[in-house]
Amino acid sequence: MAADPAQPPTVPEENDVHLPDYHTHTARCGHASGHPGEYVETALAKGLMAIGIADHIPLLPERAPELSMHACELGDYVAEVEGLKASFPDFVLLGIEADYRPHTVSEVRSLLDSHPFDYVIGSVHHLGTWGFDDPRQMDGYTEREIDDVWVEYFELVGDAAESGLFTILGHLDLVKKFGYRPTRTLNVELHRLVDRVARAGVLVEINTAGLYRPVGEAYPTLDILRRLCEAGVAITFGSDAHQPREVGRDFDHAAALAQAAGYTEFSSLVRRPEGGRAQVRLNHFGAPAASAGRRSSAASSSASGDAPRP
């Protein structure tokens, strides 16, 4: 049966979609488990196109061991993943996820320029000092006008896109994580955001971690994906895995979402032999992904807000 374009697709039991997973975390970030090699093993076993390890860059200026590695660990992290790249050439990439916070842009840029990252995921997790996706700080939603929260978030994501720091924008509508929705349609704000992202030329990931959070859906929504597709914004994929078994999780669902939004191609990253940020390669989807309902039973039964990050 053909997919209903008005509805997000269901998730088949098995992952049979040959996609890359560029958003994975390991024990170094303080809120995940497993070593990079275990994530690579899972990606190989699942038949993924490629995997990138993208732990959280040290959060600046404060130390936050439950959210990111310490600055002194960054060199060891890079060396470990570089070793895996040597063992699995053209399959493993060295990535990093960096928070976009206006007051730390210079420091983050310096860290990124000091290491041979193949790609950088840019994410917004804070509005000022408020970690809006941290379940320990959920009271912040009751202290603010929800529409203002969304508008401020979209502005910061647009700033991140235009900063020149990032290859991929992570979980584009993360602000919905706990199910707090705007009270009005934000068409003007969304149009502005999509236009800024398109002009910046950054990739946007379809991130399946939201299926396992209170919001119960992938990041971003089908509506936002359609807008991105119409604007010519290229997409890629990330599980936001925090355990090795989560690598590539629900990528059938992600592929079906992309195709329901009008995408016929997705982006993968190709390492440059001379170093520097990876090149972007376009790939056609295979057969249309299966579709039906919104979430797998596994996602429905395990959705929670306990993780401090997506």
Give this prediction's pTM: 0.87
Q: Is residue 287 part of a domain?
A: yes
Alpha carbon 109 to its chain centroid, in Å, reads 19
Total number of domains in the chain: 1
- Domain hosting residue 119, numbered range: 20-302
Element (H, E) at 152: helix 146-162
pLDDT for 299 equals 44
| Nearest CA-CA partner of 163 in 106, 115, 117, 118 | 106
Number of H helices, E strands in the chain: 8, 11
Per-residue DSSP letter, 131: E
Q: Is residue 309 part of a domain?
A: no
Q: Is residue 72 part of a domain?
A: yes
Residue pLDDT, tens place only, 68-79: 667 778 899 999
pLDDT for 213 equals 96
Q: Is residue 41 part of a domain?
A: yes
Residue 165 and residue 100 in contact, taking contact as beta carbons nearer than 8 Å: yes
Q: Is residue 7 part of a domain?
A: no
pLDDT for 7 equals 39
Q: Cα dihedral sign for 156, 162, 168, 172?
A: positive
Q: To the nearest 10°, report the CA torsion of 17, 211, 26, 118.
A: 50
pLDDT at position 46 over 60: yes
Q: Could you give the strand order of the β-sheet that contains 20-21, starting from the edge strand earlier in sequence?
A: 20-21, 50-53, 92-99, 119-123, 168-169, 203-207, 235-238
Residue pLDDT, tens place only, 223-245: 999 999 999 999 999 999 999 99
Q: Is residue 36 part of a domain?
A: yes
* Average pLDDT taken over every residue of the chain: 87
pLDDT at position 192 over 80: yes
Kindly state the average pLDDT of the residues 97-107.
94
Helix (H, G, I), strand (E, B) or coil at 236: strand
Q: Is residue 107 part of a domain?
A: yes
Kindly state the average pLDDT of the residues 38-44.
97
Rounded to an integer, what distance in angstroms lies between the CA atom of residue 216 and that of residue 218?
A: 7
CATH number of the domain that residue 61 is part of = 3.20.20.140
Q: Is residue 308 part of a domain?
A: no
pLDDT for 275 equals 86
Kindly state the average pLDDT of the residues 183-206.
97
pLDDT for 303 equals 43
Kindly state the average pLDDT of the residues 145-149.
98
Element (H, E) at 21: strand 20-21
Confidence of residue 2 (pLDDT cuts 50, 70, 90): very low
